[in-house]
Structure 1
Amino acid sequence: MLLLGFTCLRFSTDLNLNLIPQTNTLKDSHSQIEQLPTITAQSPSSLIAFPFDESFSVTCEAKGNPAPEFAWTKNGQEFDPLQDPRLMKEENSGTFVIPNNGNLTEYQGTYRCYATNKLGTAISTEIEFIVPHVPKFPKETIEPLKVDEGLPFVLKCNPPKGIPPLQIYWMTINLQHIEQDERVSMGLNGDLYFAHAEEKDSRRDYCCFAAFPRIRTIVQKTAMSVIIQTTNAIRERRPSLLTPPGVKSEIALVKGEDLNLECIAEDCNPTPQVEWFKIGDELPEKVTVENHGKLLVVSRAEQEDSGKYMCKAKNELGEAVHYFTVIVEEPPEWLFEPESQLSMVGSDVILKCSASGTPQPTVTWRVNGLPLSESPLPNRRILGDTIALHNAKESDSAVYQCEVSNKHGSMLVNANIMIMNLPPMIMTNEGENYSAVEAKGVIMHCNVFSSPPSTITWSRDDSTESVQGPRFTVHDNGSLEIYETDKDDAGQYTCYAKNIEGSSAIEAMLYVKDPTRIVVGPEEQQILIGTTSQLSCLAEYDKSFSNDFELLWEKDDMEIGLNYTENPRYLVEEGVLHIINVSHRDQGLYRCVARTPLDQDTASAWLTVLDVPDAPESLVLSEHKSRSVKLKWIPGDEHNSSTTEFIIQFEESQWEPGNWKELLRVPGNLHSTLLKLHGHVDYRFRVAGVNAVGRGPYSEPTERYKTEPAAPDRNPETIKIEGYLPHEMDINWEPLLPIEHNGPGLEYKVSYRRQDMEEDWHEHMVKRHSFVVKSTPTFVQYEIKIQAKNHQGWGPEPKIVTGYSGEDFPSAAPDNVAVKVMNGSVVKVSWAPVHKEKLHGHLGGYRINWWRLRSLVDSKKQHGDKHALNVPGDRTHATVPNLTPFSEYSLIVMTFNGRGNGPAHGVYRFTTSEGGIPEKNPVFRVTDVQKHSVSLAWAPPLEPNGILTRYLLEYQLINDTEEVGPLQTVDISNPHTTKWLLRDLEAVSKYKFYLRSCTTVGCGPVVSEESTTTLEATLWNISTNSSDTFLKISWVADGDDMQFHVAYRRKCEGEWKISDTINSSELFHVIDGLQPGTEYTVRLLPNNTLNSFSIFEENITTTGEKGLASIHGGISTQGWFIGLMCAIALLTLIVLVACFVNRNRGGKYSVKEKEDLHPDVESQGMNDDTFCEYSDNDEKPLKGSQHSLSGDMKAGDSGDSLVDYGDEDVQFNEDGSFIGEYAGRKEKRVSAEVKSTAQTPA
């Protein structure tokens, strides 16, 4: 019975005893098991002693039980490193070290290591220690080589032998390479071949250099001299080969090496052609021909490349051939490699050793390092390449060596044959824990060492039954494999091993985990460069791996480092990978890896980065013609978005140098185009690509290309014919661009004539782009044409255009003007059209002017601002909007053309009906606040839009609580009332007052004011007395002393002047320096701001006549007056001193200018001249007044020209009614303004 191994375990050469777990029990068992020696490390078969190395280690390491001892042989003779004190030896090792002490030659040789214990001996392969010598060219004198011109010659190199590889260079003495070409080339042997000699080949310093890179050495051959002798003879001869010599040769090489076949022919006349053939077959596809046809190379030669090859040099006079017989040989390769075996006592053991190779390798057997003949066994037989041991005994245990070799190399293998009986020894640890993923497989190990092989069974939990079923498999090495595990497979398992020598068992625990699964994986993305990409990855996994789970990201199979300091562009948050500021290098395949110690899941997505195309390259101009050139380019990288078009720009150096302009665009699939150019222009061009992302950068510009001058290609096309004066015609045109001149000397020929009349063309040459025709009839049609010309000739025949001479004002007005009142703010106007003959030009339309005369509430007539409405075309009706109700208006209707307005037929008057509610009151103020009463004052609405019938006054208590008092109403039936006293109010309470004006239509918007009643009345019986230049205000004080201020100004104008603080105990206050006969507004204020309510307010007029103070202009010249003024000045000085002393006690009055006050009329209410007059004549112009249809009005417009009114265009619908917003009305509310340093509009 032949056993090739045992079931439980597959052993290597050391029987894998080193795999026994190192527990105490197993360690003891392991130490009792004897092992044959095994070589574990050795030096390579060739060990070269390079001169730059410090030492050289000759390695031999082995293991076994007992530990092996080491011995060496050198060149087949015993060699003991310990006997040489110069060698360094390592303890418990066969390795020794040879120091580089400069005397290495004596150590050169072939070494072999022997590792021996009592069971046998293992040997290493032979190690050749090579001490290379420094290669040198021989010292020699080389005679100059004389060659006739035209003849071939060869310079021999003959490099010295050395450690390969060898590199040959031909150079001059100054280290300049000899130039090689089809005529001059170096052969495989290093010789330099000249196919024929030329005079320039004469030189005295041809040097061959041999380089040996492994020993870092370059050597130089003695320089050679070549003399070329000139001859005029032209020799015609048949070809011959300089190399190889003879007709045939044989080439042997090792499989895998490159096959190099070389044929160098002399360059005879005629020049020969070299051809290559394989006899009986085609040349291999991997063949390449190099060195100008002289070298045939077959890379990595195989057996099928063996055969006969031929090179042929042929010209008209004949041919020369050479045949190569190529043999591809092989070093030995194992067919059957002997393996170590553990066999039981009494078994048969078979060892087989065979190898292939060319030549066929020889097989040599050894046992324990000795030839089989020196260690005979009666039960051992050799049958060719096989050894058989019959009925093996323990004493037959040994190390067998098989060595195969041919001339290309050798191989040696040690096979450990161990004969023994042993009970099962389980080398897997007891109590191992295994984890499996649900639905995946798991393997639980039970490695058994025994002889003979053991029977192994697995059981589960406490059962004695072996596990069975299609999902369970016990392998030959004892491992249990479970396929597609589920949760029920979890639990405790027992491995039981038994042979004839005994039995053993171990237990293991299996846990089944939930699988790791990516539930949300990354998706394919196309993203713009410079933006941020987000790739999501969410996974589920077994919760027992919470501390061991990791989520990784890879790009192109390389893990992405997520250290922010080292790689700040990558950030992971909650499973989302953020790639910040995406660049081109970020494109690729991204893989999310969700990993636990047990399993992992992956999901991948491709990230595509989009960008504008790169700039095109290699711009070339070709097909140069006088007016065109062809431009070609190589497109740049499209960056994953196809180029849709290319933009071609040009720049010229004469008119706008440095300014690039677009010439044309071509589709993205074209990479060249024909450019049509203007004449007499010095061009440069550049190109940029466009894709869905945008336009890419422009290429580098081309060289300049200048075209020849030519006649103009076109004439002016945009021609405008206008007439600003009745007897003139202005002709203007868009000039040719400078680049369109096509040459110097550009001019224009202007030709014109009356249309429909038999007359010749009137022609004028001009250089500008305008021309004025004088003395034309008014508004007559002309034919005009303009032709371009330069020094090269005329442009093409121009097109004829028509136009009219200058227009004049219309001479007639529209008749039958009628106005129909639609409502209080809109009227409809109609008229009869003006006859065409009276227009004297193109009809622009009709213009309606209107203005307000007065309000029907006020009989006083005051002209308001004029407004205008343009009605385009020949329409004869229009709607006039935004009129003020209950007013009288005047209206005129005119026609207009491009020259201006025609006359009006008279003024039409009409009145608007009462309509709409009144505007809100511009002024509403609290004027006098007492303990139980409040005085209110107001001004009527500026636009009542009808006849005022009453005022509606309401008020309520609004103390600082959420609740408000009931709303009280007072109906004031007298529309002329502007003051009202409210009584029976609560003391120290805050009230809010509301006022609205009413007509028969309804009440207008509300205006409100707030005020708080006082605790006690403080000022009573306030009265005023005035003279021509001063005013006295008196009062009666009650209760505690209070402080207030007096403010005054001329009514409705001037700046407010506010006094210093006044105490109520002073009982009066005097204002002096007033103008006689002038009305003033006086207020008593609780503080020095105009925003507060007034304690008292009244308009007071000084006595005397206005301006009386200036009548007697000569009084200043009287002597008594001068004396009086001096006395007053002295008195004033005394008063000022007293004023500073008694300032805080009241008395004298000091006026302060309040130039920085800008009160808000909505908040201050009655601060704005409650009793100032207001009038319709104070209205400001409408914002929406209409401009002329022809733009700015020309000189000579009629007196009703709408330029004076800032009119704007208005749109109409089909029946002429106004559509859209016509104009906003802003009137000067003099009575609603506070005039300080800056006016604040109400």
Structure 2
Amino acid sequence: MLHFTVLLLCLLSLTLTSTDDATGYGPVFEDQPVDTIYPEESPEAKITMSCRARANPPATYTWRLNSRNIDQDEDNHYTLVGGNLVISNPIKNKHVGKYTCKATNDYGTVVSREAAVQFGYLDFFSSEEREAVYVKEGQGAVLLCAPPPHYPDELSFRWILNEFPVFIPLDKRRFISQTTGNLFISKVDSSDSGNYSCFVSSASIAKSVFSKFIPLVPLAERPIRKYPADIKVKFPDTFALVGQNITLECFALGNPIPQIRWRKMDGELPANHEVSMAGAHLQLYHVQYEDEGTYECEALNSKGKDWHRARVSVEAFPEWTESISSTERDISSDYTMSCEASGKPKPHVHWLKNGYPYDKHDLKFRGLTFEDSGMYQCRAENRHGVIYADAELRVIACAPTFEHNPVKRRILGAKNGRVVLECRPKAAPKASLSWSKGSELLFNSSRMLIWEDGSLEILNVTRADEGRYTCFAENDRGKANSTGFLSITEATKITLAPSNADVTAGESASMQCAASHDSTLDITFVWTMDGRSIDFDRDGAHYERNPNGGSSGELIIKNTQLNHSGRYTCTAQTPVDNVSASADLVVRGPPGPPGGVRVEEIRNKSVRLIWSSGADNHSPISKYTVQCRDWFSQEDWRDATTSPPDVEGNAETATVVDLFPWTEYEFRVIATNTLGTGDPSSPSPKVTTLEAVPVVAPSDIGGGGGTSKELTITWTPVQPQYYYGRNFGYIIAFKPHDVYEWMKVTVADPEAKHYVHKDSSIPASTEFQVKVKAFNIKGEGPYSLTAVIYSAQDVPSEAPASVEARALSATEAIVWWLPVIQHTVEGYQVRVLDESGGQRGIQSESGGVQQREPDKVGEHEAKLPLPHRGQGLQCSRIRTPQPSLPDLHQKSPYVHRSQGRFTGHRRSLVLDSKTLSMEFLYCKACLSGGQGFIYVWETVPQLRNLQHPSERRYIPLRGDIYR
């Protein structure tokens, strides 16, 4: 609570004349009680309410609770320690209320501000189990906190995940409302699975509690659906006090995660704002009246948008605009005590005298008496609080005296100038004043004037005016006088005045100044620019005095800037008089920023911009440059295209063209003259161009493959800046190559990248023509280039035949078979079963069987894989006994260690290595050398005479070939 303490001093009786009595004063608060929250579970079983006042003689103190006096004798819970009230073992239904302190001494009484005592508490959460929350992946979730009963209302909220103290981190996907405590997840994914507990803290009573755990169970959904933005946290109409900080909350559910934008409907967001918590918080710092208005938060994702608006109203705590201050007033004089307070609503003002309401509406005293002396308080109150201004009025009576303020012993006056001799004795009631020079009594004339306050003014003084001057003071209490001597000096004169100067920014300028003066006096030169004194210490980088000094006060301005233009005044002054001379400095430079940039006409690809010319800085503006930035470029300004292309220097409007439809823009203008380019203007208010039909088609049209009886179509989505309007989506047109009519479907998701058309009548591997175009609320755009794709292939219907296998060593075997004739086969799969029936070996596509355990019989089976995702029929099993192979006795010109690539041809292998590439070989001998196995091959030249040509897809094998 804002509080002013001001002293007004008053004498209480006509007989009060001693020094000790005069130095006494009424109580002035130095410490006052404040609102107190006492935790119900506090280990310290007492409350202390502070009250201390400075006073002479010392003050005595009394306390009131809810306007009733506290009697310590009747209630042993209360103890007075100095001025402080101590409440021991406080009881809620007995000691809650509003407390005030009174401080009293011989000069009067003052009352402190009210301070409330409340008991703070935070109950535990209910022990009942919380129900689990089941949510599909991609959907939003809200976990309710439901805090327990508490006081005060201010709480802070966090959420525990699985165990304390693991608190969930907040990001753009998760948000905790500090109003309700609820946890919001914009879109749930599998990582959110867990147990959640609401953790509530009360800073006022230093206590925290947490709820029972709430299980959150994400439910898998494939594919994960997308949902439009849906605002679930909405800030209400809000009242703020001037100077406060407030936070507006806004959060939305949706998939993709919505982006939050804030705006003020009737103007720009205040400069003192900050957006935090991934956009969910708008914080306004040090709120002012101009921040009042309607605020909007908008949540936007690719599926849609939502918005919410509410009003922020700004009111104010009472604040003094005119206060009261301590004073001594003469007996029988008139005096008005004024007190004004501002605030919203307008505060009600009333008065207290010595702690009691004062009947007078306004304190206008006519003929003060000693009974008017006392302690006065002005109290201003509105619904937001109360403030006090304290003062003491002292009424005095005494004979005139010059003891503390005599006439100056020596007074100097400049020849032909003006001089004032002051006469200010202390007297109550006010004394009558008169002057004499020597023995001559002085009266008002054309050259001499006695002011109402007693000062003597002499004009056009000459040497003849030198002499002794005496001031006489008299009232009904007595008389007094005081004398001073007037001396006349030579006048100060400017002998060299500064001259006007004209420079370009960056150059230096000089202002001359010299003066003559009385030789018995010191002279100084003071420079001002446009009436403001130049600070040579602070502005030493640009301003410098002539180092020669003396009677010259030359000013040097270095590296002039545009803000140095103005009127410079040199003042030569002595202790007696001063004289001035002025000159103008013009600094030419690039123009200043234009003002008032705004948009008047808005079309889909153009706007008309208007502005006001800024300062030309003494060089005519030759042209303007218009710049713009849109929502997509964020901070990057770029030169805009205008019509006409060149904007002349006398123009104050231009049409900006080649803009994107349905795009938020802001603009600024930069002026140029022959001396350079100036600073840009402030950005215009943001505007959105009108919607238009899209003109950009999706690119990279393709697709094919997929599951049987499906046609998969893919494309690269259009970038958001080319949406050109609301309700953006795609129209997909497709048809078999031999059909005339196109089939069309609509996809409403602007971020979609593919479409799958399912039709049981679609033949496998059928050629289709496909094209895609964009649409929005204004219409349809052009189609893309037509692409050719194929429908999905069928599952192979034939198994491999003539499957044979031979063991090569204790750990390896070779398998071969006849290929199927079907053209769409892309590869084969080999499975290995040991004799015990367990499956081992090859899950990837491989051409050799490795790492078999020795001394076991294996069954090998070849199986066709499905194209992409399909697998064909399984062939019959074959048995391969474990051989005992001889050592290798001869070398072959080609040795293959491990594997190459299988083709579909029986008993054949196509090698692919750095040594040999796609050469057809024939197996001549397969021998074992003890460690691992070695293939020995020789070339077969009849590659083109194969009955079954190689397929386009091969089973990859690891290894290398060397000679």
TM, length-normalised to structure 1: 0.33
Q: Which has the higher contact order (CA 8 A, sep 6+)?
A: 2
- Greater percentage in strand: 2
If each structure's helix is expressed as a fraction of its own residues, which one has the higher value?
A: 1
